[in-house]
Structure formats: C-alpha cells, structure tokens
Amino acid sequence: MSEMDFYMETLENLPAVINSNEGMRELVASLVYEFMELQHLYDSAIEVVKTYLNIIDSEFSMKFQRNPIHNIDSRLKSPQSIIGKLQKKNLPVNIESAQKNLLDIAGIRVTCCYINDIYAVADMLCSRDDFKIIKQKDYIKNPKSSGYRSYHMIVNVPVYLSNSKTYAPVEIQIRTIAMDFWASLEHQLKYKTASEITPEISQELRSCADKIAETDIRMQDIFLRIHDID
Ligand code: 0O2
C-alpha cells in the first residue's frame, strides 16, 4: 500500500465518534500525516544504505570476481510493533518518543558468504564519513546466551529531501548465511510456537548454533586455503 493510500484509508475508516468531531478528525489527520513523513524518512534511509551496500558488492565483484554479500533484506517496523515496543519499555507512546527511543524502526539484514566478509562490510560502513556510527555490537565474538551470532550496527544516515537534509537511524544486522539460517529458524521456533521452550530445547538450540559457528570457521578456512591467503 502506498503512503497516500494508507493516509486515505485511515481517514476513511475512522470510528464515527471521531469522524463526527471536526477537531478530532483534524488531529488524527495531522498525526497520520506526521507518521507518513516519518515512514518516508526511514524508508529513504534504508535506500541510502542499500544503495551503498550494492555499490560495494558490485565493486568487489568487478575487482575480485566474487560477491561478499549474499543477500540484503530490509523492513520498516510496523505501527503495531512500534507501539508494542514502546509499551514494553514503559515509554510514552507517540511519534517523538518512537524517534528518540527506538533505533530499529528501519532495519537492514545483510547476509554474507564468509565471516571475514561481515567485518569487511562493517569496516566499509564505518569508513563513510557521512555515516555516523551510534552503536556496534559484535555478537560473533560475544554470542548471546541463546547462541545467537550476528554483527549489529546502528548507523545515523543522511537523507537529502527536497529542501532539507536530515539524519535517520538504521539498524544493520550483518551475518553469514549459516548464522542467518539458525537465527531465522530459532526465531520461528521461539516466537511462532505456542508450546513452551524448555531449558533442554534452549540447550539443544545453543548446541546447534555452536556447531554452525564451527562450520562457518571451517568454510572460511577452506576459502582462505583455496585462494592461498594466510
Ligand atoms: P525484530 O522484529 O527482529 O526486529 P533493543 O533492540 O533496543 O530491544 P538490544 O538488546 O540492544 O535492544 O537489541 P539487540 O539484542 O542488539 O538486537 C535485537 C535484535 O537482534 C532482535 O530484534 C532480533 O532481530 C535479533 N536478536 C537478538 N537476539 C536474538 C536471538 O536470541 N535470536 C534471534 N533469532 N534473534 C535475536 P527484535 O527487537 O527482537 O525484533
């Protein structure tokens, strides 16, 4: 649905009690418009980062005949999910609070072929002098207790609009295909299953993550041996 369709549909489907009150209708209309502006800003920030990632990937391909990036996915957090997260953190539920407190409204997931590629991509993102790195977390060197591995960055990205320049934060998760396989299935198992995850199952999931990490290191090693790199 386009932003304008979302705007129109929201206004057309307001409850009668709001619709019949001119002041309330105007207030809701301005809130919806503010939200659309926010969505547009975060969407644009995602595009800025994706464009840069595609450029460095194709440059690698041209220079070294290989692609360090296997896949790039992106998503904007839904309004329901933004509200849910603010409520969970006991924070005010409004647009300013979301902008100030939630740094993962815009999210990009980069899947790389090898572990070294993750750090190469992270370094290239850090090297951009117009990207401001707000946070970096290395869950590869320091895996989470669940077994989760990934490299996380929050980057403030410049967005040039028709008459202004503004910054928006983008959460970038960088991981190997193998780490992504584990994280996707673990997420499905944990959050989409009604039954309880017992300590035994958590332990089993951790053990799978460790096996996968071991395989990632072996695959990286095979790559380095084949390419005669120390
Ligand atoms: P979604 O829908 O995936 O975006 P915060 O993000 O502010 O709550 P924190 O602790 O700084 O806090 O974030 P963290 O732990 O660095 O990263 C959060 C995101 O990492 C999660 O997003 C997941 O996408 C991913 N993640 C973290 N731990 C795990 C894990 O054990 N398993 C899996 N599969 N993914 C994990 P959200 O917010 O959960 O939602």
Provide the residue-wise pLDDT of the chain in tens; the chain has 230 residues: 666 666 667 666 767 766 777 777 777 777 778 888 999 999 999 999 999 999 999 999 999 889 999 999 999 998 889 989 999 999 998 889 999 999 999 999 999 999 999 999 999 999 999 999 999 999 999 999 999 999 999 999 999 999 999 999 999 999 999 999 999 999 999 886 777 889 999 999 999 999 999 999 999 999 999 988 77
Ligand 1 neighbourhood includes 152 CB (under 6 angstroms): yes
> Class of the 3-226 domain?
alpha beta
Q: Torsion angle of alpha carbons 207, 212, 217, 223, nearest 10°?
A: 160
pLDDT at 222: 96
The alpha carbon of 173 and the centre of ligand 1 are apart by a number of angstroms equal to 9
How many helices and strands in the chain, by DSSP H and E?
A: 8, 5
Has 186 been annotated as catalytic?
A: no
Atom of ligand 1 nearest to the CA of 144: 31
The alpha carbon of 3 and the centre of ligand 1 are apart by a number of angstroms equal to 27
The alpha carbon of 187 and the centre of ligand 1 are apart by a number of angstroms equal to 10
Pocket test for ligand 1, best of 111, 172, 187 (most atoms within 8 A of CB): 187
Ligand 1 neighbourhood includes 146 CB (under 6 angstroms): yes
Identify whether the C-beta of residue 188 lies closer than 8 Å to the C-beta of residue 207: no
Ligand 1 neighbourhood includes 186 CB (under 6 angstroms): yes
The residues near 81 (Cβ < 8 Å, ≥ 6 apart) are none
The alpha carbon of 11 and the centre of ligand 1 are apart by a number of angstroms equal to 33
Ligand 1 neighbourhood includes 40 CB (under 6 angstroms): no
Which residue, judged by its Cα, is nearest atom 35 of ligand 1? Answer: 183
- Please tell me the distance from the alpha carbon of residue 94 to that of residue 87, in angstroms, as a whole number: 11
pLDDT at 218: 98
pLDDT at 127: 95
| Segment (H or E) for 188 | helix 177-191
The CB density around residue 129, as the number of other CB atoms within 10 Å, is 6
pLDDT at 72: 98
- Please tell me the distance from the alpha carbon of residue 47 to that of residue 44, in angstroms, as a whole number: 5
Measure CA 196 to chain center: 27
